[in-house]
Amino acid sequence: MGISHKSKYQFVFFLFVFFLINFLQSYFTRLLEDEAYYWVWSKELAFGYFDHPPMVALWIKISDFFFKGELGVRFFSTISFSLMLYIIWKIIDIPKKQNYVWLFFLLVVSMALLNVYGFITTPDTPLLLFVALFLLVYKRFLHNESWLNILVLGFTMSAMLYSKYHGVLVLFFVVLSNRSLLKNKNFWMASLLGFILFLPHLYWQYINDFPSFRYHLMERNKKPYRISYNIMHIVNQIVIVGITFPLIYKAFFKQKIKSTFDKSLSYIVYGFIIFFFISSFSTNPQAQWTGIILIPLIVLTFPYFIENIKARKWLIIIGSIQFVILLVARIFLANENISPLVLEPHASKIWIPAVKEKTDSKPIVFVNSYRNASIYNFYTKISTHSYNSIKGRKNQYDIKDTESIMQNKDVVAVGSKINGYPIVNKNKKMHYGIDINNYQTFQKVKCLIFEKEIVIKPGEEQIIPFEFINLYNKTITFENVHFVGVFQGKEKKEIEKIPLIIKGLRPIKENEKIVLEARFTSPKLQFKDKVTFRIAIQFYDLFEGFQGNKVEVKIAD
């Protein structure tokens, strides 16, 4: 039997072992809260969702076709991870690779974060698969601009974007590495196809008032600069690789760039690290943001470890240690009884039954916690809703119609910052409950101030006309409702909240628009720079919501 046949069987064997480990991990490990959130998405497939494009929901929907429970969320992720490894293997075209199948899989183990996506389901899971497929097709496109390669290249472009918006950075850095693509009509044809395929998502954004773009580009909190964010970004580049990072990055820096394709891989690595280092000046970086670089790192460093015996020996030693560490960590993750730490999947096994018991299995309105609402619904099948206020952030529950499920029911509102009776201690935070009979809310109405700026003088009465828009197919009345005016400063910090007297308030019919007047006595504000004002609605004893638009405030002497 020839070497190529032996390597083929070796590759299939190792691939099956990886698949089996990931399959068992998926089965025995409880869901992460974010996974449950994406599971909620999958119950209503759409071309878009609040936080991300829709591919992750499709991943879960496919999994749910074959299994229920945790595997019903993760099964297709174990499949797509194996496909990704096969594609990366195909990208590497050096002849000697046939003798080093085992080294390839050891190198995969040496990329710590990559292994996590062998069983969890997040937007990064399909993204990694389609990045690998895009790179494979792009490499073939560079040698043969056939119609097949053009079509598949366009498909992979759109598939990356349907997975996560980070895909646009991959395209940008590939074009930056090979600017002749801008003069290549076939590349433009592929790009046009990708754009056409992506149009349904853009249309979804349009009809929903661009929620994802608004959140990521405008509404997401910008944090004041801290040098710790820069340091954390650098630490993240170590964490995503693991204890093999000195060997991996040394191999990356040592390996010579021999082709246009290798140059594109190098640009992706440098580009992602530099781009998110710059972003760390205004936000707290997360490790998974640069997880894409692990694919080009494998492709670029694999030849180096084949040729460099000393480096290969060290990789065998340290990579084997990392394999043991990852295996032990996986066992701890799946079994809370032997884990020295209470990890996120373990915690849900404790707090969810406690909440269910304390609330007599009533529907739960979680305050500012889409994660809690999702994971509780997954494991109890009890109806949940996330009541989102300006103390938290908007999410898919502001689009998904779970609010209607709660109407006229006896529910319990649960949150860590509300005034109620103790429910459960979760993550060292006590969560409290408020019993609400005949729950009635209309969080999605609009209270739009006409002016872009208001001028206030402390101590004087202020009258602000605004348009109230009823977006519901029912008449709205105002029991258990308080109108408040909210002044916010830098980083959306709430600096003052005042009650409003609403002139002309009456029951408002379905889809009706009405002009009302808000009256209040202007408060004395501590801060005078970059202050905004909005009209908001507070239901029961919960927090005020996102009903009003923000307008700038100028303070008269």
- The residues spanned by each domain of the chain are 3-334, 344-436, 446-555
Q: What is the pLDDT of residue 489?
A: 86
The C-alpha angle with vertex 238 and arms to 236 and 244, in degrees rounded to 5, equals: 155
Inter-residue contact 431 to 368 (CB < 8 Å): no
CA distance 365 to 388: 10
Tokens of 76: 């297709």
Pairing assessment for the beta strands 446-449 and 494-499 based on DSSP bridges: unpaired
Q: Which residues pair with 519 in a beta bridge?
A: 463, 501
For strands 513-521 and 453-456, give the pairing.
unpaired
Per-residue pLDDT at 524: 87
Cβ burial of 67 (10 Å; 0-12, 13-18, 19+) is middle
User: Percentage of the chain with pLDDT > 90?
Assistant: 87
Q: What is the full DSSP assignment across 205-264?
A: HHHTT-HHHHIIIIISPPPPP-HHHHHHHHHHHHHTT-TTHHHHHHHHHHS---SHHHHH
DSSP characters over 448-511 = EES-SEEEE-TTSEEEEEEEEE--SSS-B--TTEEEEEEEE-GGG-EEEEEE-EEET---B-TT
Query: Strand pairing partners for 496?
Result: 487
198-233: per-residue pLDDT in tens?
A: 999 999 999 999 999 888 887 776 677 889 999 999
Tell me the CA distances in angstroms from 403 to 57, 396, 471, 542, one per residue in order.
21, 12, 13, 15
Whole-number pLDDT of residue 78: 97
* Helix, strand, coil shares, percent, the chain, to 5: 55, 15, 30
Which is nearest to 152 in space by CA: 170, 167, 173, 130?
130
User: What's the fold here for domain 446-555?
Assistant: Immunoglobulin-like (2.60.40)
DSSP state of 508: B
Q: Tokens standing for 308?
A: 């460099």
555 in Cβ contact with 525 (< 8 Å):
yes
Vertex 164 angle, CA 160 and 168, to 5° = 60
Of the candidates 488, 529, 550, 491, the one whose C-alpha atom is nearest the C-alpha of residue 222 is 491
Predicted local confidence at residue 221, as pLDDT: 63
Q: Give the residue-averaged pLDDT of 84-101.
A: 94
Residue 217: the pLDDT is 81
Which residues fall within 8 angstroms of residue 45, CB to CB, at 6 or more apart? 54, 57, 58, 61
pLDDT at 557 over 80: no
Burial class of residue 199 (count of CB atoms within 10 Å of its CB; 0-12, 13-18, 19+): exposed
In DSSP notation, 47-100 reads: S--SSS-SHHHHHHHHHHHH--TTHHHHHHHHHHHHHHHHHHHHH---GGGGG-
Q: Mean of the per-residue pLDDT values for the chain?
A: 94
List pLDDT tens digits, range 154-206. 999 999 999 999 999 999 999 999 999 999 999 999 999 999 999 999 999 99
> Whole-angstrom Cα distance, residue 330 to residue 112?
12
Residue 1 has pLDDT above 60, yes or no: no
Helix axes 124-143, 71-91, angle to 10 degrees: 20
* Mean pLDDT, range 528-532, rounded to an integer: 81
How confident is residue 5, by pLDDT bands cut at 50, 70 and 90?
low
3-class DSSP assignment, residue 456: strand
pLDDT digits (tens, 9 = 90+) for 240-252: 999 999 999 999 9
**Residue given tokens 């560490």 in the structure block:** 325
- Note the pLDDT tens digit of each residue in 337-356: 999 989 999 999 999 999 99
500-525 residue pLDDT tens: 999 889 999 999 999 999 999 999 88
The answer to which of 372-376, 378-382, 419-423, 503-507 has the lowest mean pLDDT is 503-507
Q: State the Cα–Cα distance between residues 178 and 176, nearest whole angstrom.
A: 5
Q: Is the pLDDT of residue 526 over 80?
A: no
Tokens 């449950």 appear where? 36
| Percent of the chain predicted with pLDDT > 70 | 98
Task: In whole angstroms, give the CA distance from residue 557 to residue 539.
Answer: 35
**pLDDT tens across 35-51, in order?**
999 999 999 999 999 99
Name beta bridge partners: 514.
468
Confidence grade of residue 414 (pLDDT, cut at 50, 70, 90)? very high
Question: Is the per-residue pLDDT at 4 higher than 80?
Answer: no
Reported confidence tier of residue 469, pLDDT bands at 50, 70, 90: very high
